Amino acid sequence: MEWTGMVHRLQFQVPKGFQNKPIEFFNEGLAEELSKDGACEKAIFPDTSGDRCNLDLVPGCTDPNSIEFNPLATCDDGTCPIDADSDPED
C-alpha cells in the first residue's frame, strides 16, 4: 500500500456521562465503573469480535512490591500505598 499523502486524524469524543471527570477517574475509577453489572452493555464502541463485554476486570493493587499487592488484580485501582519514607535516588 502506498501513502497517498492524505493526512488522517483520529478523534476521540468522551461520552457525556464521562465528560468533566477528573483524570483520577480515568486512571483509577474507570476500572471500577466498568466492573459494575451492565456497564459494558451501555458502552458504545465498535466490536468486531463480539466479546467486548468479556473484560474480566479485577481492580486492585498490581504492584508486586506493595504490601497491598493483589495477585488477582488485572487493573490497578490506585490502592497501592505510596512509600513516602523512601529516599530519592542520588
Kindly list the domain boundaries of the chain, sorted by start residue: 21-76
Cα angle 57, 41, 18 (rounded to 5 degrees) comes to 75
- Collapse the DSSP code of 48 into the 3-class scheme (helix H, G, I; strand E, B; otherwise coil) and give the result: coil
Question: Residue 55: how many CA atoms within 13 Å on its side-chain side?
Answer: 22
**What pLDDT, in 10s, does the model give residues 40-75?**
666 655 556 666 666 677 888 999 999 999 999 888
Per-residue confidence (pLDDT) for residue 48, from 0 to 100? 60
86 or 35, which is more confident?
35
Answer positive or negative: Cα dihedral of 41, 45, 51, 52.
Answer: negative
